[in-house]
Amino acid sequence: MSAEGGRVVIVTGASRGIGRAIAVELSRAGESVVAVARTARDLEETLRFMEEVRPAGSAARHSIHIADVTRESEVEALFRGAAERYGRVDVLVNNAGHVDPVGILEMTLENWTHTLATNLTAAFLCTREFVRANKRVGGKIINIASTAGLTPRPGWSAYAAAKAGLINFSLTMSEELKPYGIKVYCVAPGRTATELRQKLAPEEDPATILQPAAVGRLVRLLVSPEGDYIDQQTIVIRKPLP
Ligand SMILES: NC(=O)c1ccc[n+]([C@@H]2O[C@H](COP(=O)([O-])OP(=O)(O)OC[C@H]3O[C@@H](n4cnc5c(N)ncnc54)[C@H](OP(=O)(O)O)[C@@H]3O)[C@@H](O)[C@H]2O)c1
């Protein structure tokens, strides 16, 4: 991994919320970030925030890439584009997510399929491209799951199942990818103050729950050499109850 310009990190779902906070923290650490989502305007705002905190004199180069990460061809194009621009990708952060909680009787096949596609299948597609490119050079993959994948969550079945799937996908990958020198981490945040959370719990005071920057700082640590010894487990991050 090159020190000049930092590591090259793809962050999916970086147009707002936790993904944006991860992108900003990685920029602060001097890494080069490819911020990915479907909404150009919001990605441009993320790019501005990243530029604001980039260390003085840093050779890091940030970019944005518009892609729907549930689509195989768009994921392939994302990794092709990053390889052409940077020559390599050192770290992948699978953060894109979606939830529309409804009880089982109201659950449509479309809701179920879309929730699994965004939270689980997208991570599979991006992981496969990353491994194809990195099987000789190693790297790191960080998956953003949720505490909803660890405990029962009535009314959230598709999301809880998708995140539970992502947790064991991460553990399985961390064993399977050892021969390639690829480390796999799984981060499971509790309630975090983002637009998504605000829509789900409008009555909640965002100041009382975890802030996205805290997740960003944890990911920054995992990406750094200090993170080398704490893979192969599900790392829960949440604000303790008062
Ligand atoms: N907030 C919480 O309380 C909480 C707690 C635990 C875990 N999490 C997890 O943390 C992650 C981020 O959550 P958040 O609260 O920051 O959510 P958010 O504010 O809704 O952000 C979701 C991000 O994912 C992107 N995205 C969604 N579908 C996509 C697709 N098909 N292709 C590419 N990008 C896509 C969105 O961008 P576009 O719409 O522009 O594509 C956006 O950047 C998710 O995986 C979520 O499950 C959140």
Q: Which of 98, 116, 125, 211 to mutate to test the pocket of ligand 1 (most atoms within 8 A of CB)?
A: 98
Q: Is the CB of 97 under 6 A from ligand 1?
A: yes
Which tens digits make up the pLDDT trace of 139-181? 999 999 999 999 999 999 999 999 999 999 999 999 999 999 9
Q: Where are the domains of the chain?
A: 8-237
The rounded Å distance from CA 17 to ligand 1 centre is 7
| Model confidence at 130: pLDDT above 80 | yes
| Model confidence at 127: pLDDT above 60 | yes
Ligand 1 atom at shortest distance from the alpha carbon of 119: 45
Instruction: Give me the long-range contacts of 216-221 (CB less than 8 A, separation at least 24).
Output: 216/18, 216/21, 216/22, 216/23, 216/24, 216/25, 216/26, 217/25, 218/187, 219/22, 219/25, 219/26, 219/93, 219/142, 219/187, 220/22, 220/25, 220/26, 220/28, 220/29
Ligand 1 atom at shortest distance from the alpha carbon of 71: 31
Q: Whose CA is nearest to atom 44 of ligand 1?
A: 97
Q: What is the mean pLDDT of residues 196-210?
A: 95
Per DSSP, helices labelled H in the chain are 17-28, 40-53, 72-86, 109-116, 122-134, 157-176, 195-200, 212-223
- Alpha-carbon gap, residue 94 to 142, rounded angstroms: 6
Q: Whose CA is nearest to atom 20 of ligand 1?
A: 196
Question: Under a CB-based contact definition with an 8 Å cutoff, are residues 45 and 233 in contact?
Answer: no
Q: What are phi and psi of 182, to 5 degrees?
A: -105, 120
Per CATH, the homologous superfamily of domain 8-237 is NAD(P)-binding Rossmann-like Domain (3.40.50.720)
Predicted confidence band of residue 4 (pLDDT cuts 50, 70, 90): confident
Q: Residue 163: its pLDDT value, please? A: 98
Would the pTM of this model clear 0.95, i.e. be above it?
Answer: yes
Which tens digits make up the pLDDT trace of 81-107? 999 999 999 999 999 999 999 999 999
DSSP classification of residue 15: S
| Model confidence at 2: pLDDT above 60 | no
- Alpha-carbon gap, residue 179 to 195, rounded angstroms: 39
Q: Which residues are catalytic?
A: 159
Q: Which of 12, 16, 22 to mutate to test the pocket of ligand 1 (most atoms within 8 A of CB)?
A: 16
Percent residues over pLDDT 90 in the chain: 96
| Model confidence at 1: pLDDT above 70 | no
Q: What are phi and psi of 162, to 5 degrees?
A: -65, -45
Q: Residue 3: its pLDDT value, please? A: 52
Average model confidence (pLDDT) for the chain?
Answer: 96
DSSP reduced 3-state for 13: coil
Q: Whose CA is nearest to atom 1 of ligand 1?
A: 192
